Amino acid sequence: MRLTHNLLVVISLICLYMLSFLAMRVVMQGVFVPEASAQDLWIAYEMGSRLDLRVVCMGVAAILLFGYIITLLTPLSKRLHQIPANTQATTKGGGIAHKILLAYIAIISFLVCFSAIGNFYYFKTYHTRIDAFIFGIKDDDTLAVLQVIWQDYPVLLILATCVLYAFVCVRIAQKILSLKFPDLRTTSAIALHIIAIALLFLGIRGSIDTQPLKEDTISTTQDQNLNHLIFNPILALHYAHTHYKNAIKFQPTKLTEGIALQNEIFPIFFRHTQGVTKPFLPTQNTLESPETPTLDSHTPPQSTNSPHIVAVLMESFASNMLALDDAKDFDLLGSFRPYFESGKHKKAGQNDFVFTHFLSGGNHTAASFALLLPIAPHPTISLSTAKATKLPLTPIDVYKNAGYEVIFITSGNQNWYNLGDYLKILGADAVYDSSYITQHYPQSKANAWAFGNADEYAFSLATEILLEAQKPTFIIILTISNHQPFATPKSFNPPTYTLDSKVDFFSYDNPARIRLLLEAFTYASNAFGKFVSDIRNSPTLKDNVIIGASGDHLCRDMKQGANIALDHSVPFYLYIPTHIAKGLEFDPETLGSHKDIFPTLYALSLKDYEFLSLGGRNLFEAHKKGNESYDFAYNDAVWIDKEGIYPIGTDTGFHYITKDGLIIPQENFQIPESKKQFINNYNKLSWWQINYRIYNTSDITESQNLSNLEIQKRTMQKSRSGA
């Protein structure tokens, strides 16, 4: 087997497979997204081709590797079988190497064709790229699913086409292998193969940047349908399998279980009307009563004078880092400083409010985001088979029912945890990520980095949207700049940090690396501070926008363990216009966590509404009678209430004091069994509510045991009827 022949086979198959995937994308774009803009089409085809190249190069690399192995083994084989050394190794004549090579080409060619055609029909049926839902074939009645596929798709024609395609590819390979070429000089041959290997390696990476092309770094467009066509079907199946393996499995639950748990700790369903919030504990009888709040009821639309809401989840904006902040020689806040410092103390006429005795819900971004938006105790809900379920009583649902426009902005990538698609399912009207920001603000390209754009452009977009808004708008912003690998815009002028006495607080002792971290933290704070300043200084927005911002989790680059409360603390900042802030009872010592963010924002912005709260309450009414049960802070790793700090999963708790906005552990004590049981019931209730909301939505009212198979059947029926 001559390596030159193998190399030509590889080149030919790369061209053929790339053209095949291109044809697939052209057909799908013409059928499903015929009116896409030229700019979006360029992104789709350029990024799609890079993904295709990744898959194709991975597939054909084995052919080249096989050739190298045969070349190395041939001399040994000749000696063992006493074959003259000058006899050429060849695949002509039906040798075993020849048969293995052609069989492999037949298999991968079949898969290329089958995946391209299958991708077309999958999108036609489900209006999405291949995702975790495809594994319903395995989880449900496999035979029944296959019967549905047999009835609804031209299976025999598809298989025949794939076999014919594989046959053509094999014949092309055979023709190339039978060609005669003059022998290359050794140095030329080595150079040629080194170049080929390097190009294959780059193709497999899909990128020449420091980061290989991954699911959460794939560029997107503003057209969600077009975004699905970007993905190569084989790569999409790989991602789907990864999501399926890692995703939690949700399951139907009984209403009686939720009632029992709520009776044990506290109710979680509420209706606020005429200034009064009343809990609702569902029972079989009251659930059927038209006068009782249910999961399907709707809040009356609010006045057009309702304030805009901006909720910001800031990457690694954590108290364990902010504890080192010093305006003089360790400035971590930048232009956010005056507002943050002003909000830490109670005073007359204030617009800024900061709660520092506050915990993040989760300990990584996806976990905190899931607890805030879908109110789900597991971050992979957006990747699971429940990702197509529109959940009731999410913050998006509450504000949509109140007549708000809902917009999600991230300076990162909307493919991360499938957020773009999932938030649209939950009801978001628009999703803007780094790809859109790059188009909208061309100057942002100069500051783009591994995970997206600089945060300042996300905030600029939010300001622009608010200035042009024709109705109350709820904007969710997820920042990314304060994330490794740290890189700040060249235009940002960082302060000078005095590290001498503070190096010991970090996980590493490299001053240059620490400074990169500090610069990114300060840049992110400064960008948010400028956004707050823009809102406050805008005549049209300063009295009509509420901003709520918190960190998503601890700063991982800090040493941990000495103070578990500090390790999981993040601040919660609020800007509230004067006419709304007047009369609020603010106590900086109030204990809270992410569970309290949206109940507080609802109370500040809405009149009549229904909501779900896992122990959250309006922080400005935290100490009112009847709120005692909700006076706690919750994180995946620790629970804190007025009696102590309870690391979850341990027997030892800590009493504590508060000083300078921090919770400081003191002497330890044995955690009572009653407290352990209460926390355990809280976690059970969190899981019950998400299962209840998934399996009791209007899309699946007939049965709590509705299977993926039934959903697939219905989706196919809708597709055939043109729905």
Pair 204, 303 in one domain:
no
| Contact predicate 686/377, CB 8 Å | yes
Q: Which of 266, 213, 166 is nearest to 46 (CA)?
A: 213
The CATH code of the domain that includes 618 is 3.40.720.10
Cα three-residue angle 484-487-490, rounded to 5 degrees: 170
219 and 307 belong to one structural domain = no
- Write the Ramachandran bin of 222: left for phi over 0, alpha for psi from -120 to 50, otherwise beta: alpha
Q: Which of 156, 73, 141, 253 is closest to 693 using CA atoms?
A: 253
Helix (H), strand (E) counts: the chain: 24, 17
The secondary structure element, H or E, covering residue 30 is: helix 3-32
128, 133, 135, 140 alpha-carbon torsion, rounded to 10°: -140
Greatest distance between any 2 Cα atoms in the chain: 99
In a domain, 716, yes or no: no
Total count of domains within the chain: 2
Asked if residue 264 belongs to a domain, the reply is no
Side-chain-facing half-sphere of 537: CA atoms under 13 Å = 6
Output the CA–CA distances (angstroms, integers) from residue 486 to 441, 454, 562, in the order listed: 21, 11, 26
User: Is 243 among the domain residues?
Assistant: no
Query: Does 258 reside within a domain?
Result: no
- Co-location of 529 and 652 in the same domain: yes
Helix, coil or strand: residue 93: coil
> What CA–CA distance (Å, rounded) separates 527 from 532?
9
> Residue 266 — left, alpha, or beta (φ > 0 → left; ψ -120 to 50 → alpha)?
beta
CA distance readout (Å), 5 to 1, 70, 189, 193, 194:
8, 13, 12, 12, 16
> pLDDT tens digits for 630-675?
999 999 999 999 999 999 989 999 999 999 999 999 999 999 999 9
**Residues near 339 by Cβ (< 8 Å), separated by ≥ 6?**
352, 529, 532, 533, 573, 575
The verdict on 176 and 304 lying in the same domain is no
DSSP secondary structure of 671-695:
PPHHHHHHHHHHHHHHHHHHHHHHH
Q: Which two tokens stand for residue 123?
A: 């999108």
At CA 183, angle to CA 182 and CA 189, rounded to 5?
130
Q: Is residue 204 domain-shared with residue 344, that is, in the same domain?
A: no
Sign of CA dihedral 159, 162, 166, 172: positive
Is residue 171 domain-shared with residue 311, that is, in the same domain? no
Q: Which residues of 380-389 are buried (b: 16+ CB within 10 A; e: fewer)?
A: bbbbbbbbbb
What single DSSP character describes residue 696?
A: T
Among 228, 259, 277, the domain boundary falls at 228
- Reading the block at residue 609, the tokens are 């509404």
Q: Which of 200, 228, 256 is the last residue of a domain?
A: 228
User: Do residue 199 and residue 307 come from a single domain?
Assistant: no
Q: What count of other Cβ atoms lies within 10 Å of the Cβ of residue 629?
A: 13
CA 680, CA 634: separation in Å to the nearest integer? 12
Residue type, 204: I
Q: Which range of residues forms the domain containing residue 161?
A: 3-228
Summarize pLDDT for 204-261 with one digit per residue, the tens: 888 776 667 888 778 888 787 888 899 999 999 998 888 877 777 888 888 889 999 9
- Name the nearest CA neighbour of 25 among 47, 57, 54: 47
Contacts for 410 with CB less than 8 Å, ≥ 6 apart: 416, 419, 432, 433, 434, 452, 458, 477, 478, 479, 480
Q: Does 380 lie in the same domain as 515?
A: yes
Secondary element (H or E) of residue 645:
strand 644-647
Q: At what angle do helices 38-81 and 233-246 cross, to 10 degrees?
A: 90
In a domain, 139, yes or no: yes
> Is 223 found in the same domain as 317?
no
Asked if 307 contacts 544 with a C-beta cutoff of 8 angstroms, the reply is: yes
Query: In a 3-state reduction of DSSP, which class is residue 117?
Result: helix
CA distance linking residue 23 with residue 40, whole number of Å:
18
pLDDT recorded at residue 703: 34
Tell me if 104 sits within 8 A of 40, measured CB to CB: no
Indicate if 604 and 525 belong to the same structural domain. Answer: yes
Q: Is 322 exposed, middle or buried (0-12, 13-18, 19+ CB in 10 A)?
A: buried
Could you say which of 640, 660, 677 is where a domain stops? 677
Query: Are residues 471 and 343 part of one domain?
Result: yes
**Same domain, yes or no, for 102 and 196?**
yes
What is the CB neighbour count within 10 angstroms for residue 39? 11
Q: Which two tokens stand for residue 470?
A: 């024709």
Cα Rg for the chain, rounded, in angstroms? 29
Those residues of the chain that have pLDDT short of 50 are: 1, 76-83, 85, 87-93, 283-294, 296-300, 698-709, 711-723
Q: In whole angstroms, give the CA distance from residue 313 to residue 507.
A: 24
Separation between Cα atoms, residue 283 and residue 267, nearest integer Å = 12
Task: Say if 44 falls within a structural domain.
Answer: yes
Residue 57 lies in a domain: yes
In the numeric block, the tokens 């629970």 are attached to 639
In DSSP terms, 354 is beta-bridged to 573
Question: Does residue 278 belong to any structural domain of this protein?
Answer: no
Alpha carbon distance 711, 136 (integer Å): 10
DSSP 597-633: HHHHHHHHH-SSEEEE-SS---GGGTTSTT-GGG-EE
From the centroid of its chain, how far is CA 65? Answer: 36
Helix (H, G, I), strand (E, B) or coil at 402: coil
